[in-house]
Amino acid sequence: MASPLPSSAAGVSVLDLAPVLPVVVVRDADDAVPLARALVAGGLPAIEVTLRTPAALDAVRRIAAEVPEAVVGAGTVIAPEQVTACVAAGARFLVSPGWTDGLLVAMRASGVPFLPGVSTATEVLALLERGVREMKFFPAQAAGGTACLRSLAGPLPQARFCPTGGVGPDNAAEYLSLPNVGCVGGSWMVPAEAVAGRDWGRVEELARGAAALAGRSAETSSVRAAGGTCR
């Protein structure tokens, strides 16, 4: 089994590898390697390949084998049997839109980091009781967005999140400015038309812009702390 994270990231959470976790849908496994290389070149080393297409596991396998500087993970993991297949393919982390006890047991037993999905305080509490502190907040905008996460930070400061769903370049910095958000998930840096046209230069450019959001989120936090507003 491959190590969950590269040696250079030893002791580092998936939430801390980059400000944005690209959520990628790969329809042609031949696109996986150049797509991953473009994202890494743009400053986004952690890549979530969603299990939404027949090519997904092959895409994970190819990225793991041919792009060692990438930290490839599998997303949309919804069944225990998928956990085994993803790790066997080389996934170094797992992401689910929600969780059940069975799925949680399988993800914990996998030996790789995982982000189970939550959208309510009750779900967060249930995971905290089970020793899980890092989670995916999904669907972020529909579940209350930054206002909800800001409210959760008060009573549940030990929980950290990767908000995904409705997060884009216009609101990502606001999410990233929150103390309980480690990174955000999104797909705006891998637009379908760019992938279909194999315009890897555009993907790299968009990835570079997403990676730069770390600086913008710091500015937003500073303005808020000073009592001002950021627009």
Active site residue ranges: 48, 136
Helix (H) or strand (E) holding 65, with range, is helix 56-66
Q: For 44-173, where are the E strands, in sequence order?
A: 46-50, 71-75, 94-95, 114-115, 117-118, 134-137, 160-163
Looking up tokens 């030996």, which residue turns up? 111
Q: Could you tell me if 167 and 137 are in contact, meaning their C-beta atoms sit under 8 angstroms apart?
A: no
Which among 66, 103, 69 is positioned nearest to 86, based on CA atoms?
A: 103
Cβ neighbours, 10 Å, residue 45: 23
Provide the token pair at 133. 């502190």
d(CA 144, CA 138): 10
- Helix, coil or strand: residue 59: helix
Give Cβ neighbours of residue 81 (< 8 Å, ≥ 6 apart).
Answer: none
Which among 119, 175, 184 is positioned nearest to 147, based on CA atoms?
A: 175
d(CA 47, CA 44): 7
